[in-house]
Amino acid sequence: MKGIYKFIAIVSAAVILDQVTKGVLLYLVTGGVPLFGPAWSVVPQPWMIARVTDFFNIVFTWNPGTSFSLFRAMGEAAPFIIIIATGAIIGFIGYYAMRRAAANERTALALILGGALGNLIDRIRFGAVVDFLDFHLALLHWPAFNVADVCICLGVGLYILNWFIARRRCAGK
């Protein structure tokens, strides 16, 4: 039972941190945080917020696609398809984490689930995800991302690390 509370705490922390950072950015750009509506009616174009270092900026962009702006060209049906697919993935991860996952996998799955929920909230509210972390080398920019994306990547990395560790233990027996 203790593991469930930890799992819920990690998921909640990821969602809250993601939504608070996006809310602050929306407030800075729009002067208020819109509750719902098409993304482009709120802020129609990317904004440069701050140059932090020679390789990192805080920007404001809408991502109607998935990770790293994939599937942007799917047209008007893209948000609905992505919302349905994300909901199915969230349901599967939640079921797996609660019923089948080993205790050492749950932290990774909680990070993935929290990140997916954070981005799903944006998709439902705006039809797109707020991205704002921009790393670059001269004019070569990595696609902008957000805290939810960081949680998903950390969760996937931790899950793979757990898999390798478990595999080495089995091979050593």
Which residues have a Cβ under 8 Å from the Cβ of 59 and sit 6 or more positions away?
46, 47, 48, 49, 131, 132, 134, 144
Phi-psi region of 24 (alpha: psi -120 to 50; beta: other; left: phi over 0): alpha
122 is catalytic: no
Q: 18, 122, 131, 134: which one is catalytic?
A: 131
Exactly one of 18, 122, 134, 149 is catalytic; which is it? Answer: 149
The alpha carbon dihedral of 12, 83, 37, 31 has a sign of positive
| Selection from 50, 53, 62 nearest residue 26 by Cα | 62
In whole angstroms, give the CA distance from residue 108 to residue 89: 15
Q: Is 54 a catalytic residue?
A: no
Catalytic residues: 131, 149
